[in-house]
Amino acid sequence: MKEAKSIWMDGELVPWFEAKVHILTHTLHYGNGVFEGTRAYKTDRGMAIFRLKEHTKRLLNSAKIVAIQTPFTQEVLEQAQIELLRDNHFTSNAYIRPLIYLGYGVMGVYHKQAPVKVAIAAWEWGAYLGDEGLEKGIAIKTSSYTRNSARSHFGKAKAIGNYLNSQMAKFEAIECGYQEALLLDDCGMVAEGSGECFFIVRDGEIITPPHDSSLESITQNSVITLARDLGFKVIERNITRDEVYIADEAFFTGTAAEITPISRLDSRIIGNGGRGEITKTLQESFFDIVYGRNSKYSHWLTYID
């Protein structure tokens, strides 16, 4: 991670190395907290945050789901992210990580007496799955871990505790020589990656799973909107693992992953084994949007300069 100048904590900007918490911070022990991942891009007009309002709203929705009452409004949190980017003077694309967590004060599983704390960090960060992956695609593995079931976890919350599942799936995939994991739900249908939404292309149609056991992704929504605007048919339905093997194209989407092609699943080559034509079209169109080169989607950008 590339260090930055400051981090926003409970209404104040503090130096990066002074942004500390107590070892008995409640979230550290019991896993209840929520976070967001938001990107800011260096455009010709200056730094711009992609879909700031939607990401901040999802952060607050996540907190509501896990019964945490946030002490700051959406407007305050949006302004805090803008203020943080201005203070850090980033020279390239940045990743923003808002975090709502339970601080020091009580122990035990019951959490409502723990103080609610909010922090926002940002740092310069390139392609999550690598620049080469954006062009040539990545190899992924069907995980032996099942995506958290809706019967036992809140899939619509970007909750800290949910990500142990993702962490173990990612660890397994890398240890087995792959770059990312693909998780199935408890019915055996494709859910998502360890931190990405999933798409396939078959016969010119773009297909993505429903949100039965996964997060309501803002980048996924952006790609669906973009694809339909470009004239593609987009279908939201269940996908089986063997359907992925015979797909023409496949790709991940997410704030960190952006649009990353998938070249192989479980040692089966997907399509031509690289970035497919539809994936390339969506990828190029997406980057035109986030870099401010398509005025039709300018409402998705919040310029900070």
Is the same domain home to 48 and 105?
yes
Is the same domain home to 107 and 167?
no
Is the same domain home to 262 and 162?
yes
In the numeric block, the tokens 């808002």 are attached to 98
The number of beta carbons lying within 10 Å of the beta carbon of residue 99 is 18
Confidence at residue 182, expressed as pLDDT on a 0 to 100 scale: 98
Structure tokens at 217: 């992704």
CATH label of the domain that carries residue 78:
3.30.470.10
Confidence at residue 231, expressed as pLDDT on a 0 to 100 scale: 98
The size of the chain, in residues, is 305
Confidence at residue 294, expressed as pLDDT on a 0 to 100 scale: 97
CB 83 within 8 A of CB 12: no
How many distinct structural domains can be found in the chain? 2
Instruction: Let me know if residue 302 belongs to a domain.
Output: no
CB 273 within 8 A of CB 216: no
CB 11 within 8 A of CB 63: no
Instruction: Let me know if residue 301 belongs to a domain.
Output: no
Is the same domain home to 206 and 137?
yes
120 strand-pairing partners: 8, 98
Confidence at residue 224, expressed as pLDDT on a 0 to 100 scale: 98
Residue numbers of the domain that contains 30: 6-124
In the numeric block, the tokens 């929705």 are attached to 61
Is the same domain home to 201 and 281?
yes
Could you give the C-alpha distances from 296 to 286, 299, 300, in angstroms and in order?
Answer: 12, 8, 9
Instruction: Let me know if residue 295 belongs to a domain.
Output: no
Q: Give every CB contact of residue 100 below 8 A, 6+ residues apart in sequence.
A: 33, 34, 35, 59, 62, 63, 68, 70, 116, 117, 118
Confidence at residue 131, expressed as pLDDT on a 0 to 100 scale: 82
Confidence at residue 215, expressed as pLDDT on a 0 to 100 scale: 86
CA atoms within 13 A on the CB side of 232: 22
Per-residue pLDDT of the chain in tens (305 residues, 90 and over written 9): 889 999 999 999 999 999 999 999 999 999 999 999 999 999 999 999 999 999 999 999 999 999 999 999 999 999 999 999 999 999 999 999 999 999 999 999 999 999 999 999 999 998 788 788 899 999 999 999 999 998 888 999 999 999 999 999 999 999 999 999 999 999 999 999 999 999 999 999 999 999 887 889 999 999 999 999 999 999 999 999 999 999 999 999 999 999 999 999 999 999 999 999 999 999 999 999 999 999 999 999 999 97
Of 124, 158, 180, the last residue of a domain is 124
Please tell me the pTM assigned to this model.
0.96
Alpha-carbon gap, residue 99 to 276, rounded angstroms: 36
Could you give the C-alpha distances from 99 to 34, 55, 127, in angstroms and in order?
Answer: 6, 12, 22
Hey, which residues are catalytic here?
Answer: 158
Is the same domain home to 30 and 169?
no
Is the same domain home to 146 and 286?
yes
Characterise 94 by phi-psi region: left (phi > 0), alpha (psi -120 to 50), beta (else): beta
Instruction: Let me know if residue 269 belongs to a domain.
Output: yes
Instruction: Let me know if residue 275 belongs to a domain.
Output: yes
302 strand-pairing partners: 49
